[in-house]
Chains A and B, each alone.
Chain A
Amino acid sequence: MTPLRSLSAGDRFLRILWWGIAVAVLSAFLWSAWILLIPLAVGYLLAAVLAPLVDLLYRKGCSRGLAAFIVLALLMGGIGIGLWWAAPTIKEQYDNFIHNSQSYMVEINHRLNGFFRFLDNLVPHRELVKARNLMVHKLNANSRPFESIDALFNIFPIAEYILLATVVTYFLLASGTEIRRWFVSLVPNRYFEMVLRLIHRVQTQTSRYIRGQMIDSVINALLIGSALWILKIPYSFFIGAFAGLANAVPLLGPVAGGVPAVVFALLGTTATPWWMVIVVLAGIHMLDNLVIYPMTVGQSLHIPPVAVILGIAVGGEIGGIPGMLVVVPLIGIIQGAIIEFHSSLKGYRIL
């Protein structure tokens, strides 16, 4: 489109801002250790998922504040009842897991020795010894390696984070429209419509993506958990939940989610052969790729693999496993925002 006018100072500022944001986004992933980002991000993600329920109650005549309170209370209540109901099983499986972790490690060591013996014929002996010593050293560094699960939860003051995330969710659900209107009212007339359009597009796109991703993860968790339970793999409840969560991480997630099940099958904890676990997990993954994912997430956002890998690395550095899980939807949000910002600046002939 031919420009109808020369760029004003404000337009030039926005142009600089655009490039500034591009650089800042890249730097942020490499630099940030902003731990508070996680509860705020969780609050935002949760609000995006729950917004349709609040809208539904609001349509029935509830005030937004009450609707947000009811939805959050139902969610918390549901989680509470679920935990109360599942707590004995979870505790039993967890205790069992911790109790057996030593023997699992011995078994893994034993299998690795066998594996290295097999490799002796294929790889130069010196290199093999080096790799083996490194791996054994890593495995023996912690006498109870699965304590890292405890560590995962101890790193974060989890109750504080849940509270903060809940408060953020409540305010976004109850007063999201007012917050947005107040923010937009501060924008100068020249850029007001552009900013409003940008906020709306980003919000719509990312909310759809987050909701879809969350539904996809829950379906995957249920499918994998049930399949592993049928195959009599131990800790199917945990592995299913972990695989469902990991599924939100593209590329690496489905593989990482399936590894524990295959390891338990390899360790001989069940009569099911390891290859059958792989076949079943691959079948579920295929079903997800061909049917579930297109129906839930669709083509709303396609995140480039490089961004996923970089994001996972930085998310892991900042917040461990929770950081890795939260970072992918955040990349989706940032990507959506950048695409819309770019298209808006083009549309308003600023770029």
Chain B
Amino acid sequence: MKLLTESPLWENLFHRFRSEEESLPTWLQSHPLMRGLSARDVRHFAVLLHRRVYAEGEIVFRQGDIGSGFFLIRSGVVRLTAEDTARGNLPLASLTEGSVVGEMAIFDNSPRSATATAEEDSVLYGLFEGDLDRLQATRPTLAISLLRNLGTSLAIRLKVTNERLQELDAANSTNQLREI
């Protein structure tokens, strides 16, 4: 054990991992998903998260796979793309630190609607249906707050999508008028 801690390689490795794990609750505290939650609740939430490290180009999840949870991007960039038979691979968005990926699946367990790929080496924290059930059984108020915040996040995205659709619709109408 002493040898391990004296070795700069292991020390750096463990120190890096430990400091990141230890700082997770602090990082989460300011996250919109944790709005209205106490520091104790955030610590409970952090314990349930699964830390995953993705190399550049590695797929986080594939379109069409069954989804059962969401990821929080701790560091790195995740690209979302949707496969379309007519137009090929459509880029949807590039998400950075603090973004939530794949949160729809936790509500309906539906197949993933897009493919998420790490654009660079990334660290993600995931929460899945089993963890949410566990949270509901042990900290029900925390689970409700979390779901409410996730709902708010989805509502904001829906609003943005609606605005984009309206802009597209308006642009199409203008183009059609010009053609006439």
Contact = CB atoms under 8 A, between A and B. Distances in A.
Interface string B14-38: 0000000000000000000000000
Contacts of B52: 189, 192
Given A55-B137, A181-B50, A349-B64, A193 B126 contact: yes
B63 A344 contact: no
Interface residues of B, number: 29
Interface stretch (A194-202, A212-220, A259-267, A294-302): A194-202
Interface in A179-195: 181, 184-185, 189-190, 192-194
A185 B51 contact: yes
Given A55-B137, A192-B50, A348 B130 contact: no
Contacts of B54: 189
A331 B133 CA distance: 25
Interface in B25-78: 48, 50-52, 54, 58-69
Given A55-B137, A59-B139, A181-B50, A199 B62 contact: no
Nearest to A52: B137
Nearest to A55: B137
A196 B130 contact: yes
A192 B134 CA distance: 18
B138 interface: yes
Interface in A252-294: none
Given A4-B63, A59-B138, A193 B51 contact: no
Nearest to B49: A181
A189 B58 contact: yes
Contacts of B133: 200, 204
Interface residues of A, number: 26
A193 B137 contact: no
B64 A197 contact: no
A203 interface: yes
B83 A4 contact: yes
Contacts of B140: 59
- Interface majority SS (helix, strand, loop, mixed), chain A: helix
A190 B117 CA distance: 12
A189 B60 CA distance: 7
Contact of B66 (A4, A204, A344): A344
B160 to A, nearest CB: 26
A159 interface: no
B129 A185 contact: no
A199 B133 CA distance: 13
A1 B64 contact: yes
Given A1-B64, A348-B66, A349-B65, A200 B130 contact: yes
Contacts of A18: none
A192 B62 CA distance: 13
- Residue from A177, A194, A204 having most chain B Cβ neighbours under 10 A: A177
A29 B64 CA distance: 37
B75 to A, nearest CB: 16
A349 B62 CA distance: 11
Contacts of B128: 193, 196-197, 200
A199 to B, nearest CB: 7
Contact of A55 (B51, B129, B138): B138
Interface in B100-131: 111, 126, 128-130
A340 to B, nearest CB: 11
Given A185-B50, A185-B51, A196-B50, A4 B62 contact: yes
Interface of B: 48, 50-52, 54, 58-69, 83, 111, 126, 128-130, 133-134, 137-140
9 contacts: A59-B140, A177-B134, A193-B67, A196-B68, A196-B128, A200-B130, A204-B133, A347-B65, A348-B66
Closest 6 CB pairs of A and B: A200-B130, A347-B66, A197-B68, A55-B137, A196-B128, A58-B138
Given A190-B59, A192-B126, A200-B130, 20 more contacts: A1-B64, A4-B63, A55-B138, A59-B137, A177-B48, A181-B50, A185-B51, A189-B52, A189-B54, A193-B68, A196-B50, A196-B68, A196-B130, A200-B68, A200-B128, A200-B129, A200-B133, A203-B130, A347-B65, A349-B65
